[in-house]
Amino acid sequence: MPPVRRAQIVRATIRCLAQDGYARLTMKKVAREAGVSQGILHYYFRDKRDILAAALETVAADLNRRVAVAQARGSREPRARLAAVVRACLDVAVQQREVWVVFIEFWGEMPHDKRLRAINAAVYARARAALGAVVQEGIRARIFRQVRPADAAAVILALVDGVSLQLTFEPDAMPAARAARLVDAVVARYLAPGGGST
């Protein structure tokens, strides 16, 4: 029961953050949304920052699962795997807006909290490592040019984050499928053999 109850509270926090933001988040609101007492809430989480950290880790894990599923469904070829990452992330921006809202609320608090900065660094290190591994496969297969995989991963992540945020707040600005094609084109050009060296 404890892991289920904790997950229930975290999901309630994500809904509260999506509705009202971190500034208006209270433990009382979260308890009400989760259908638990404030005492139960404090059993699992010390304070607002603690519950915000759990919310970020949850949406990051959800996003990673979606990316893994998207990659598993398609080709194992590196270009196809990168395209699957892009599409999964952009689809989340349109279909599950709360995911990126949680990231933004977390980033707003992160400069003021060493622990939150460490959590963010770990989340991004994992994302860069996963993308870098795909880029490395493409370099070995001579599909991609010689680049530092970590640098390429940072560039791809920046593109995905930036476009995802735009789709989160302006979903009518561009269809997600078109946005994904544009990101794919930029990534393909950046990684194309003969495109220079970095």
CATH code for position 125: 1.10.357.10
Regarding whether 75 and 14 lie in a shared domain, the answer is no
Q: Is residue 197 part of a domain?
A: no
Regarding whether 53 and 21 lie in a shared domain, the answer is no
Q: Is residue 196 part of a domain?
A: no
pLDDT of the residue at 3: 77
Q: How many CA atoms lie within 13 A of 88 on its CB side?
A: 21
Cα 18 from Cα 112, distance rounded (Å): 21
Please tell me the total count of domains within the chain.
2
pLDDT of the residue at 118: 96
Helical H runs in the chain? 2-20, 27-34, 38-44, 48-73, 78-95, 97-109, 114-140, 149-169, 176-191
pLDDT of the residue at 194: 79
Regarding whether 100 and 152 lie in a shared domain, the answer is yes
Domain extent at residue 170: 48-191
Regarding whether 104 and 166 lie in a shared domain, the answer is yes
Regarding whether 95 and 77 lie in a shared domain, the answer is yes
pTM: 0.88
Q: Is residue 169 part of a domain?
A: yes
Backbone region of residue 36 per phi and psi (left: phi > 0; alpha: psi in -120 to 50; beta: other values) = beta
pLDDT of the residue at 74: 85
- pLDDT below 50 — which residues of the chain? none
Q: Are 128 and 111 within 8 A, CB to CB? A: no
pLDDT of the residue at 141: 96
Regarding whether 33 and 101 lie in a shared domain, the answer is no
Q: Last residue of a domain, which of 29, 45, 61?
A: 45
pLDDT of the residue at 195: 62
pLDDT of the residue at 102: 96
Regarding whether 158 and 63 lie in a shared domain, the answer is yes
Regarding whether 55 and 33 lie in a shared domain, the answer is no
Long-range Cβ contact pairs of 25-28 (< 8 A, separation 24 or more): 25/52, 27/51
Regarding whether 132 and 91 lie in a shared domain, the answer is yes
Q: Is residue 69 part of a domain?
A: yes
pLDDT of the residue at 48: 92
CATH code of 4's domain: 1.10.10.60
Regarding whether 133 and 161 lie in a shared domain, the answer is yes
Q: Is residue 158 part of a domain?
A: yes
Regarding whether 73 and 124 lie in a shared domain, the answer is yes
